[in-house]
Amino acid sequence: MKRAFIFPGQGSQTPGMGEALAAAFPAARQLFDEVDEALSQHLSRLMFEGPEEELMLTENAQPALLAASLAVIRVLESEAGFDVRRQAAFVAGHSLGEYSALAAAGALSVAEAARLVKRRGQAMQKAVPVGVGAMAALLGLDIEVARQLAAAAAQGEVCALANDNSPGQIVVSGHKGAVERAVALAAERGARAIMLPVSAPFHCSLMSPAADIMAEALAETALRAPLAPLVANASAAATSDPEEIKALLVEQTTRMVRWRESILVFTANEVEEVVEIGAGRVLAGLVRRIDRTLSTRSVGAPAEVEALVQVL
Indicate if 42 belongs to the active site: no
Question: Is-contact 28 21, C-beta < 8 A?
Answer: yes
Share of the chain above pLDDT 70, in %: 100
The DSSP secondary structure of 277-303, one letter per residue, reads: ESS-SHHHHHHHHH-TTSEEEEE-SHH
| pLDDT of 302 above 90 | yes
Q: Check whether 89 has a pLDDT greater than 90.
A: yes
- β-strands 3-7, 90-93 pairing: parallel
pLDDT at residue 63 above 90?
Answer: yes
**Catalytic residue selected from 44, 69, 100, 203:** 203
| 122 exposure class (CB count in 10 Å sphere: 0-12, 13-18, 19+) | middle
Please tell me which residue in 95, 100, 199, 235 is annotated as part of the active site.
95
From the list 205, 135, 125, the residue with the least C-alpha distance to 165 is 135
Q: What is the mean pLDDT of residues 49-62?
A: 94
Contact yes or no for 67/18 (Cβ under 8 A):
yes
User: Hey, how many other C-beta atoms are within 10 angstroms of the C-beta on 144?
Assistant: 8
Pairwise CA distance, residues 101 & 308, whole Å:
18
Tens-digit pLDDT profile for residues 9-55: 998 899 999 999 999 999 999 999 999 999 999 999 999 999 999 99
The H or E element that residue 171 is part of is strand 169-175
State pLDDT tens for residues 261-285. Answer: 999 999 999 999 999 999 999 999 9
How far CA 213 is from CA of 105, 120, 123, 216, 218, in Å, comes to: 24, 8, 7, 5, 9
C-alpha 71/C-alpha 104 separation (Å) is 10
Using the predicted structure, report yes or no on whether residue 148 has a pLDDT greater than 90: yes
Confirm if 9 and 94 have CB atoms less than 8 A apart: yes
Q: Would you state the pLDDT for residue 197?
A: 86
Q: Is 109 a catalytic residue?
A: no
Q: Give the pLDDT band (50/70/90) at residue 130.
A: confident
